[in-house]
Structure 1
């Protein structure tokens, strides 16, 4: 096996890489129109985006970034680059440019950028670059939901297509409904799954934590929340080698999560990259709110809106699982076939609902926060918050709002988000969200007397 890249390299090696990156010119990437390619793959960058390096300014890699995936210092290799370019990536986004040198040099990394800027590509490239043909698990990625785990698996299979074909690299997505026996062993080099199942397989010694060299937490703020997923994530980290390279990626982080992430780094060298909070929203998504007099009128108006507004596909978010079923049944009875999706459904049923939605077989999806993070469906042009996102106690949950709204406006397309407000409590939640992101007036009001034709013009979802 090649040298363990998760270990911190010698200071001279870091300085050499920093110097080479500073001196390197841009290597022309195969696609002729880089900006068009970035739109095609869905990166939502704008010139005003600021990626801030919060690392130690004495670090030789501080504020270092790349201009090309082909930079020899990254050592991505021809097979990885071929898969990358087939996916229409051409040049690194800002988060990729800032994070890839740090990942290559074995740094633990806490990276934050808004939805759709290419965070998944960062850690997928990191995993693909370190694995060898040895039949042991070497890279482990955990995330909150089975839907996101399967999506990450698809990205690894596409980006790593030629490594898989020519080097025998294999990928395993571990799902909750799979059964394993003691004595079985996972031999795939890249393993993806949700934390509960991963903990179970580590305990059974089906998964060898001692061979893992890179540990990725996608949607890391959710993965490190107190209790539940947070406890499971910490247990996984404790079962891995001390010098494992740990990567945290998300669009949102709290200060408490940042502190916990540094603790899990176990004194290994680490870096932090983020964007300013006020820059975190995608300007391609227009955000609105619409007031109704109570829940009954809200349901009536939702039915009318879906009747007149020409959407590609639409995700409707609610707070409770029971509401998912009730709302889906009511809308379907009123002539709007809607698919429900929530965490209490059987795994196979959840998979079918999402496949049908991705394929365009269904246009409307009613769901809880189980689908608020990471899921990419290009044709989603409208997100409706039927219930505003709140924490226990009823206060606003701005991070969940950001993730929900981030399901539209992807892949270079415009999108709209509509918040349906039926009482003053929900209005307070909306204002709390604006204040949190320091973007007062971000969410525009649609007048109560707006007719269907005007709704369609305002939402701009044709």
Structure 2
């Protein structure tokens, strides 16, 4: 395995990497960094949690160092990401390695004061990390000039396609300066990605370190066949199997996520939620509490699938299976990060059998069955919106364990082997 010194990085960056405890590049970093430093357009494909941010971030920092201060309202490099959480995560990672330099990393996202962002951009930015929607708002106000930007990075480009940001990209890209270097990074390879690369990259080098749609090697996956009405009890059974473990629970809708979180809190669990109806401040506080472990259960919609980089997440629970199969890959990528192990648990109701088969087709695997049986009959898919039963507390039900049947593997599942302890907090006396 190469080390960072062989990749052509300058001594200041090598020092910052060492201080951050990073000595050996990940496969995507080892392949992408030399190409990016040479000026080539890069199309990088790698699973989540493999260090894609530094694969483009380190070359950007090195190439921008010593280029002088940006003029008012101008930008030298633009990084686009689909969610607020991911924008903040990218900026935080870049700032670790711009300490001691004059480079300024700025962010613009929705849900925050646009007037403050206008004032911030008056001073210009070396690297601007942005969500497409808010960036266009600022462009419409004449608050930012992209004509001086010579670097463009599209991070998690597949999710930007899923979220409809292709139209925003068509508006933004022509405003950047030319010639420019463009880098595109993604964990999956939907059919539109080739079209995207042809439109915005110039003779790109494709760097792929894992097959698109493949999960991290240390993620243990399992599926429980359980009807929607029985999911609350099954979730509590999983939570009680390892009290205190950081657990990220994915729901399909905003209302379903909020209802599920409130049901857990009513039953004495420490839980928080993040979704599109939450303000940026609320989302930031929930993620901070989850990161610190003071709130070990975080219920989220897919807004969090690519914006949480917390190595200690032990469980990812797909309470509702995603409508887009690639989203499953990103969800479970929130565990088994930084070389750790993790467990991805999926609940599949009779309405979701078609979604499960879509996921297995994309991942080219058959997810091991931990309990229940595959529902008979034609494959079904839930209607958009997730139905009325999003997952509140189980109305007077006791958790019901299900013995493996049919296609279930021999022996108990990983979660079943853990001691059955209670994961509840004592309520304070009134």
Report the 3-state secondary structure (helix = DSSP H, G, I; strand = E; otherwise coil) of the residue aligned with 2:5.
coil
Counterpart residue number, 2:82: 144
Count of matched residue pairs = 378
Are 1:375 and 2:308 matched, yes or no? yes
5+ residue gaps, structure 2: 373-400, 405-411, 422-430
Rate the CA distance shift 1:461–1:407 in 2: closer, same or farther, 3 A: farther
Closer, same or farther: CA 278–197 of 1 in aligned 2, 3 Å? closer
Offset of 1:459 from its aligned partner?
6.9
Q: What is the distance in 2 between the residues matched to 1:344 and 1:175?
A: 15
**Secondary structure of the structure 2 residue equivalent to 1:172:** strand
Specify the alignment match of 1:431 in structure 2: 357
Q: RMSD between aligned alpha carbons?
A: 2.5
The match for 1:68 is 3
Match of 1:115, SS state, is: coil
Query: Is the Cα–Cα contact under 8 Å of residues 120 and 152 in structure 1 kept in the other structure?
Result: yes
Shift of residue 249, structure 1, vs aligned partner: 0.7
How far did 1:442 drift?
3.4
- Report the Cα distance in structure 2 between the residues aligned to 1:240 and 1:368, rounded to whole angstroms: 32
- C-alpha distance 459-197 of structure 1, shift in aligned 2 (>3 A): farther
In the alignment, which residue of structure 2 is the partner of 1:155? 93
1:329 corresponds to: 262
Give the 3 Å change call, closer, same or farther, for CA 308–85 of structure 1 in structure 2. Answer: same
CA 1:460–1:278: 2 relative to 1, 3 Å: farther
Q: Which residue of 2 aligns with 1:263?
A: 199
Q: 1:291 aligns with which of 221, 225, 243?
A: 225
Matches within 5 A, 1:156-175: 156-163=94-101, 168-175=102-109
Please, what TM-score do these two structures have when normalized by structure 1? Answer: 0.76
Alpha-carbon distance in structure 2 between the residues aligned to 1:400 and 1:310: 27
Residue 457 of structure 1, CA deviation:
4.3
Does residue 449 in structure 1 map to residue 374 in structure 2?
A: no
Q: Is residue 223 of structure 1 aligned with residue 156 of structure 2?
A: no
Cα pair 1:381 1:461 within 8 Å, conserved: no
Pair 206,85 (structure 1): closer, same or farther in 2 beyond 3 Å: same
- Tell me, yes or no, if structure 1 residue 307 matches structure 2 residue 240: yes
Q: Distance in 2 between matches of 1:248 and 1:110?
A: 5
Cα distance in 2 for partners of 1:375, 1:384 equals 15
> Deviation per CA, 1:356-394, whole angstroms, max 9, x where unpaired?
11121210011100001142112210000010011xxxx
CA contact (8 A) 2:109 2:135 kept: no
In structure 1, the residue matched to 2:390 is none
Alignment of 1:252 with 2:179, yes or no, is no
Whether the 8 Å CA contact 2:47–2:216 is kept in 1: the answer is yes
Distance 2:149 2:213 in 1: 35
Contact 1:415 1:461 in 2 (8 A): no
Matches within 5 A, 1:32-431: 67-71=2-6, 74=8, 76-131=9-64, 132-136=67-71, 137-163=75-101, 168-176=102-110, 177-180=112-115, 185-225=122-162, 228-265=164-201, 268-277=202-211, 280-292=214-226, 294-390=227-323, 397-423=324-350, 425-431=351-357
Structure 1 stretch displaced more, 195-204 or 271-280 = 271-280
TM-score, with length taken from structure 2? 0.82
1:333-369 C-alpha deviation (Å, 9 max, x unpaired): 1111210110121121111111111121210011100
Distance 1:434 1:308, change over 3 A: same
Residue 197 of structure 2 aligns to a residue whose secondary structure is helix
Whether the 8 Å CA contact 1:224–1:260 is kept in 2: the answer is no
**Structure 2 contact 49–334 (Cα < 8 Å) conserved:** no
**What's the CA shift for 1:196?**
1.0
Q: Render the CA deviation track for 1:7-45: whole Å, top value 9, x for unaligned.
A: xxxxxxxxxxxxxxxxxxxxxxxxxxx8xxxxxxxxxxx
Deviation for aligned residue 1:124: 0.9
Shift of 1:182: 8.8
Distance apart, 1:92 and its partner CA: 2.2
Q: Which residue of 1 is the match for residue 396 of structure 2?
A: none
Shift of 1:300: 1.8
Q: How much has 1:184 moved relative to structure 2?
A: 6.1
1:106-126 deviation line (CA, Å, top 9, x unaligned)? 111111011222111111102
Gaps (5+ residues) in structure 1?
Answer: 1-33, 35-66, 391-396
State the shift of 1:251 in Å: 0.7
Rounded to whole Å, the distance in 1 between the matches of 2:82 and 2:419 is 32
Q: Is the 8 A contact 2:45 2:212 kept in 1?
A: no
Give 1:59's aligned residue: none
Per-residue deviation, 1:80: 1.5
Separation in 2 of the partners of 1:112 and 1:323? Answer: 32
**Against the structure 1 CA distance between its residues 460 and 161, is the aligned structure 2 distance closer, same or farther, given a 3 Å change threshold?**
farther
